[in-house]
A = this chain, B = another copy of it.
Amino acid sequence: MLDVTPHAPGKDEPVPSSAQPTRSPSPRYGARPTMKDVAARAGVGLKTVSRVVNGEPGVTADTERRVQDAIAALGFRRNDSARILRKGRTASIGLVLEDLADPFYAPLNRAVEEVARAHGALLINGSSAEDPERERELALAFCARRVDGLIVIPAGDDHRYLEPEIAAGIATVFVDRPAGRIDADAVLSDSFGGAREGVAHLAAHGHRRIGFIGDRPRIHTAAERLRGYRTAMADAGLPVDESWVSLGPTEPGRVRAETERMLAGPRPVTALFTGNNRVTATAVRVLARSPRPVALVGFDDLELADLLSPAVTVVAQDAARLGRTAAEQLFRRLDGAAEPPRRVVLPTRLIVRGSGELRA
């Protein structure tokens, strides 16, 4: 039941009415007091208020106190919009990612926030939902707000629309996937190497028929991971039956169907490599119901993965480190670093949890 109760006011604590005794010669209702109002009330000049608010020197203790009193009495708070307009810098950065709610991106988001905070900047963010047009809208909306910098997890593969913005001075760093058709800083995980290592792990445990289920091929990481898969198979001298490979949207329905298909065919796979956390989660569910044990290695770690039976071996990325590295690079640019765009590739880590063995 959804119950909506008008909240009884006196319950928590009677609100002390002593807080705002006299609201001055009543500034316009609903409008906030400005420095001008504070100045008038304190009987000082506008600039003096500005000085006090910003802690600038050159104000006597007495004057300062008068101003502080006026500020408190009026409930003044500096309007940062005006400040930003005047100063040119907004002390904020924008982050465009795929999905704020995705367990992989959430720690990245948090890491970016921490770095921003350490630099005194606020974070504006939004989800592209893997839609290039929406990515563009968001990024440009952030630019219109004149964020100092932009961190983008690309959904699209053409970022030329950002060129004027970058030229105009908005520092931009791409994470997780490289920028398309422009040259820019990027911080990536080693998708190719990670997938190769994960698949090699399966091959080393005797699997010969290994399936690959990944995200849509236009996504850079998906393509790289597939490449890692193929390379590892070739390294191990294993042929790849194309029915073992499936790229496409990661929604559970498709992944479930593909997993079941690979387990059912005339030449069923004995092991599966899954291309990201969402795919892994669905595959685990399907495999849990499989009569025949199937080995599974997944890209991205999962919470509680160690507790599944069998525990899922994963190729873990450090999402927080991705975010941190990207944000630090961004602020390095903002501090004036003028080196040419660079690409940082962070290593992945194979976490063996015992699901690799060939048990079929």
Contacts and interface: CB of A to CB of B under 8 A. Distances in A.
A91 interface: yes
B101 A15 contact: no
Contacts of A249: none
A308 B5 CA distance: 38
A79 B6 contact: no
Interface in A69-125: 75, 77-85, 87, 89-92, 99-103, 106-107, 109-110, 113, 117, 120-125
A5 B335 CA distance: 12
B181 A15 contact: yes
A293 to B, nearest CB: 15
Contact of A9 (B101, B183, B304): B183
A347 interface: yes
Contacts of A344: 2-4
A308 B284 CA distance: 11
A101 B288 CA distance: 28
A187 to B, nearest CB: 10
A243 interface: no
A267 interface: no
A62 B190 CA distance: 52
Interface residues of A, number: 95
Contacts of A123: 124-126
A141 interface: yes
Nearest to A181: B13
A79 B144 contact: yes
Interface in A1-46: 1-7, 9, 11-13, 15, 19-20, 30-32
Interface string A159-189: 0100111011100000000101111001000
A302 interface: yes
Contacts of A78: 144
Given A181-B12, A182-B15, A82 B85 contact: yes
B284 A163 contact: no
12 contacts: A3-B120, A4-B84, A5-B343, A6-B341, A32-B169, A79-B85, A99-B110, A106-B106, A122-B141, A122-B145, A304-B308, A309-B309
Interface of A: 1-7, 9, 11-13, 15, 19-20, 30-32, 75, 77-85, 87, 89-92, 99-103, 106-107, 109-110, 113, 117, 120-127, 140-146, 160, 163-165, 167-169, 178, 180-183, 186, 281, 284-285, 288, 302-309, 320, 335-336, 339-347
